[in-house]
Amino acid sequence: MRRIRVALAGNPNVGKTAIMNALAGTSEKVGNWPGVTVQKKVGKYNFRGFEIELIDLPGIYSLTSYTLEEKVARNFLLKEDYDVVADVIDVTLLGRNLYLTLELLEMGIKPVIVLNKIDELENYGYTIDKSALEDVLKLPVVEVSATKRKGLEELSETFLRVATGDLKPEGFIPTYSEELENIISLIEIRLKEELPQNFPFNLRWFAIKLLEKDPEIVDYLKENFKKWEKILKEIESIEEEIKRRHRIDLPSFVARERFLLASRIATVAIRSVVELPIEKLSDKVDRIVTHPLTGIPIFFFIMWLVFKATFDLSAPISDLIDNIFSQTLPEFVEKALSGAPPFIVSLVNDGVLAGVGAVLVFLPVLGILYFLMSILEDTGYMARAAALWDNFMRLFGLSGSSVIPMILGFGCNVPAVYATRAMRSSKQRLITMMIIPWISCSARLPVYAVFTAAFFSKNQSLVLLSLYGLGIALALLFALVLSKITGAKEECEFFIELPPYKLPAWNVVINQTWIELREFIFKAGTVIFAVSVFIWALASLPPGVSYAGEGSVVGYFGKILLPVFEPLGITDWKPVVALIFGALAKEVVVGTLGTLYGTGEEGLEKALAQTFTPESALAYMVFTLLYIPCVATIAAIKQESGNWRYPLILVAVELTVAWIVAFTVYQMALLI
């Protein structure tokens, strides 16, 4: 079967995901572009004996090389192998979307124009003249509604016809004002004087990008043209002239010409049939939800609802799954394997079943959260929330869209890491993922509860608040450090587009939720399972020892590591072993302590009172708050960043910081 590769290009919010979903169903695979943390989605489907592969390029407004997303999209279009480029356009914003189309045409690409959201056009009082647009752009144009599943057959057919050469789009060459055209020709001539062999770019495009001072293109010029200094000087003097005449710098001048041409083309194709009121109801709503006085309470109310729904609705299902894998099935296994060595029974029950349970227990919370996040995004609220918080988060080198993932982190870090998917800037997204583990999730609460009850019964809430505060403060501090290191500050979103409010497309939401759960099971789930079994092995080997007891491997590690913890006031190996188990999930620390002290969770307070002092208890809580993310969070960060490097750096930083802060807290507490 012949394969056809179709690259989907377009602005953010144009419905590329919906088109992917409508065409390729749930075949979508989520990964990363090589070497970067930008998400890559690929889907495939069969059409008339061809396999059509859809590659979703990052949503971008233009094809410069200022952001990671733009670079990824541009490098794909310049260097990779594909048969068709589909330029997905939100037909309700035709003029602005055509800006990217003109850039594609400048590069020498002849895309299929996909006018999406065609069903929404009448809400805007417009009609569109498809053939007029085809005539101007000299490209095939297809009208589509991805959510209503209209025009899809014709779209696939157009892909097929372009890929097989049955349809050869001529492609319009964007032509600008005489003034700019003269400048472009001049630069083209200069470049031609010493064009390197195998020059890989469209010359006109290269010249235009030079005028736009595109960093990658300027670098290429410097490396491959001997007279680069002369060419750049010439461009400088052209810019002086443009500034004098138009009071605008050269790159902005080029961009403006392109934008104006795009708008002119749009007016050729669009007919306004009804005059709409200029002030929209949505403007009134926007003023309320993005004004700090009203917007912040509304934001916290919505977050409270999301929080409640996610964690309350999922709890009974998670409990049920937990029961099945920690009681029902183990009891059954014990009966079925009666007579087998206890080691084997333990392998099946405490190793394999516990590992599977540890993965499945996340499915309800992730499923509900994905669902709610897509609703927040599709309705348009997410963009407003990001706009509301943008100024404040900028203080820490973050952007407004980091707020929602961070808040979810208080419930559970794992879904919080996945919630960063809604963020546009990959660098900002990576930083947000890296700071989420510092935020105290609900699994850490049982640890605080036991220790505060044993040592700080009078100041319980003060201690709790301080721990939460410490987590937030370190998260923001770490964000600041990371944004300095990665240079993400320059990549802040300069603006946030506020898409119209609308109801979510339910079939897309449900399909996406399913795709994301599947990805979690195969990518993060395997890691979680493997680590669970590994820790079981540490606790059960050599065969015959009591689980996690003194003679086991993990007990041995506990004793070896004890000297590291002595400066924190910890004098027994058992709490150290509990920390190793805490890597599975932080609440496991309490259960392990109960098992090791032979008290269960009820009598634990008394046992702790004998091993810890209030000062060392404080240090132990601080350490639990800050040391390594749980394995599920590590797996999630690996899945989302596409690289083991990031979770490993995080583990190293967190361990170091946890020790230093716990040590400081312990020593200061001793002084008081």
Task: Give the interface with another protein as residue ranges (CB under 8 A).
Answer: 61-62, 64, 66-67, 92-93, 95-96, 99-100, 212-213, 246-249, 251-252, 255-256, 259, 263, 278-279, 282-283, 286-287, 290-293, 295, 383-384, 387-388, 390-391, 394, 490, 494-499
CB of 388 to another protein, least distance (A): 6
CB of 39 to another protein, least distance (A): 20
How many other C-beta atoms are found inside a 10 Å radius of the C-beta of residue 304? 11
Helices 228-246 and 203-211: crossing angle in degrees, nearest 10, is 60
Cα(42)–Cα(7) distance, rounded to whole angstroms? 9
For tokens 């491959």, name the residue. 224
CB of 401 to another protein, least distance (A): 11
Q: Which is nearer to another protein, 61 or 623 (CB)?
A: 61
Question: Running DSSP on this structure, what letter comes out for residue 546?
Answer: P
How many other C-beta atoms are found inside a 10 Å radius of the C-beta of residue 367? 20
CB of 638 to another protein, least distance (A): 30
CB of 57 to another protein, least distance (A): 16
Q: Which is nearer to another protein, 130 or 256 (CB)?
A: 256
CB of 492 to another protein, least distance (A): 8
Cα(432)–Cα(398) distance, rounded to whole angstroms? 8
3-state secondary structure at position 453: helix
Q: Which is nearer to another protein, 347 or 385 (CB)?
A: 385
Q: Which is nearer to another protein, 98 or 608 (CB)?
A: 98
Please answer whether residues 110 and 169 qualify as being in contact, where contact means their C-beta atoms are separated by less than 8 angstroms.
yes
Estimate to the nearest angstrom the gap between the alpha carbon of 102 and the chain centroid.
29
How many other C-beta atoms are found inside a 10 Å radius of the C-beta of residue 208? 25
CB of 658 to another protein, least distance (A): 34
How many other C-beta atoms are found inside a 10 Å radius of the C-beta of residue 89? 28
Q: Which is nearer to another protein, 498 or 577 (CB)?
A: 498
* Strand bridging mode 141-143 / 112-116: parallel
How many other C-beta atoms are found inside a 10 Å radius of the C-beta of residue 154? 13
Please answer whether residues 549 and 604 qualify as being in contact, where contact means their C-beta atoms are separated by less than 8 angstroms.
no
H helix intervals, 115-227: 130-137, 152-164, 178-193, 203-211, 215-224
CB of 383 to another protein, least distance (A): 7
H-helix or E-strand containing 236?
Answer: helix 228-246
| Strand order through the sheet with 50-56 | 29-32, 39-47, 50-56, 2-10, 84-90, 112-116, 141-143
Cα(289)–Cα(303) distance, rounded to whole angstroms? 13
Q: Which is nearer to another protein, 60 or 430 (CB)?
A: 60
Cα(79)–Cα(34) distance, rounded to whole angstroms? 13
CB of 11 to another protein, least distance (A): 9
Q: Which is nearer to another protein, 69 or 640 (CB)?
A: 69
CA dihedral 561, 564, 569, 571 (to 10 degrees): 30
Q: Which is nearer to another protein, 483 or 592 (CB)?
A: 483
CB of 434 to another protein, least distance (A): 23
Q: Which is nearer to another protein, 251 or 504 (CB)?
A: 251
CB of 123 to another protein, least distance (A): 12
Q: Which is nearer to another protein, 67 or 147 (CB)?
A: 67
Q: Which is nearer to another protein, 267 or 664 (CB)?
A: 267
CB of 506 to another protein, least distance (A): 25
Please answer whether residues 405 and 382 qualify as being in contact, where contact means their C-beta atoms are separated by less than 8 angstroms.
no
Cα(469)–Cα(220) distance, rounded to whole angstroms? 48
Q: Which is nearer to another protein, 149 or 502 (CB)?
A: 502
Estimate to the nearest angstrom the gap between the alpha carbon of 574 and the chain centroid.
38
Cα(654)–Cα(647) distance, rounded to whole angstroms? 10
